[in-house]
Amino acid sequence: MDLQRTSSLSSSDLVRKYNVPVPRYTSYPTVPFWGNTLPATQAWQETLLSTFTASNKDEGISLYLHLPFCESLCTYCGCNKRITKNHGVEPIYLKAILQEWDKYLALFSEKPVIREIHLGGGTPTFFSPENLTHLLTKLLANADVHPQHEFSFEGHPNNTTAEHLQALYDIGFRRVSYGVQDLSEKVQKAINRIQPLKNLVQATELAREIGYTSVNYDLIYGLPFQTQESIAETFRQVIALKPDRIAYYSYAHVPWKEKSQRAYSEEDLPAEDEKLALYTLGQAMLLEAGYEDVGMDHFAFPEEELCVAQREGRLHRNFMGYTTNQTQLMVGLGVSAISDLYRGYVQNVKTVEEYYALLAMGEWPVMKGYLLTELDVQMRRHILDIACNGQTNWQDSPALALIEEKVVPALQDLAADGLIELGQNELKLTTTGRRFLRSVCAAFDLYLKATPAEGPAKPMFSKAV
């Protein structure tokens, strides 16, 4: 599918043209376009139950648990987090998550079948192995586990212990994702994430010794003081450890949203051309080392399940990122967690205090949501097809006329610039297009077309590169 197409524009020209704020498309419509209201309780719960009934027995459901606590603040981070060294918060928070789960269990018409669990944060390994075991044991007590389940968690190399890994392995976890970000000492100091290489080596070796079948590293390009030389050294060290997957994300510099990012100035960040060079270098080193470019900043070995799922046409993307399971229902538990109801979304409140208070009153801890129209469903399918499969076809789409009017002109521009091969009611990404995948997806985003990404207010999304 890596089609070659030469653009009349240079790489620098492409960056200048397409390096604008666009979503990462973990949902459609994306969160900023939901508004700040919550659909009527009956409406979103009927949507939830309809999806649950249609999919639970065969494909199962996914669970995302947001565990927001961290002992120290990484200044680059845009996640919902709570900084504390007080581990006394652990049992209180986990009790609240189980209370929220009980509310879902009371709604479901039958015992849920759990296909997928992901622990995100924050730092899930902030919690003790004993507390994580308690949480997951209780959570699964009134559920069945799907035979093809996939359980994964995010770990910090500095505090993921053998006890963490063994406890989660015993429950069924087989994939761990370590936040590496960068291995340069100068960069680590700038982002307040001191993480010696020896800690990453130990955490990786422990996971493999225990039996984890997939170890993922998260890396970021565009951080302060990164250079091509420092990135090359980071990748040499990372590739030597042979992680099964690598996510190589673009740093989202949004200091108007994340005050911690004001710890350094924009002058400390790589310029746009240099940032693209950092990505291109990392990508080239990964491809040379035998990784495949899955898309949207993800790489994996050909035999890894992510690549297998893509070849078999079952790769999916949701709020957890890329996943090999196409579950229609994903229940999000914890502060700020989002539930994907297939034809709707609901998001939890963003502070621990609000979350506790609402649950204590017996209320749902939700703050806003959105119910999809039939047109939303159609546009989401095209965006997911591009993000997961590198192509899409709208020949038989009920929205064919609208796509021809609103979308095709943008696609013609993308084709002229060498980002896609455009056929009769179909497109395929080129090699160059993979670097600007979010921009290609954005061609089908009718909400983004109606509301300019740049305006008098600050942009809602990070830039594409």
Bind-site residues: 64, 70, 74, 76-78, 121-123, 154, 181, 193, 218, 252, 338
Q: How far apart are CA 268 and CA 87, in angstroms?
A: 35
Please measure the distance between the N-terminal and C-terminal CA atoms of the chain and give it in whole angstroms.
22
> Where would I find the H helices in 333-442?
352-360, 374-389, 400-406, 408-416, 431-435, 437-442
Which one, of 416, 407, 409, lies nearest residue 381 by Cα? Answer: 407
Across the chain, how many H-helices and E-strands are there? 17, 19
User: Any residues with CB less than 8 A from the CB of 244 and at least 6 apart, and which?
Assistant: 213, 214, 215, 216, 300, 301, 304
- Binding-site residues for [4Fe-4S] cluster, please? 70, 74, 77
**Inter-residue contact 23 to 30 (CB < 8 Å):** yes
Phi/psi of residue 330, each to 5°?
-125, 120
With a CB cutoff of 8 Å and minimum separation 6, the contacts of 313 are: 389
3 state DSSP class of 252: coil
Specify whether the CB–CB gap between 183 and 149 falls below 8 A: no
Known binding-site positions for S-adenosyl-L-methionine: 64, 76-78, 121-123, 154, 181, 193, 218, 252, 338
Q: Sign of dihedral through CA atoms 324, 329, 334, 338?
A: positive
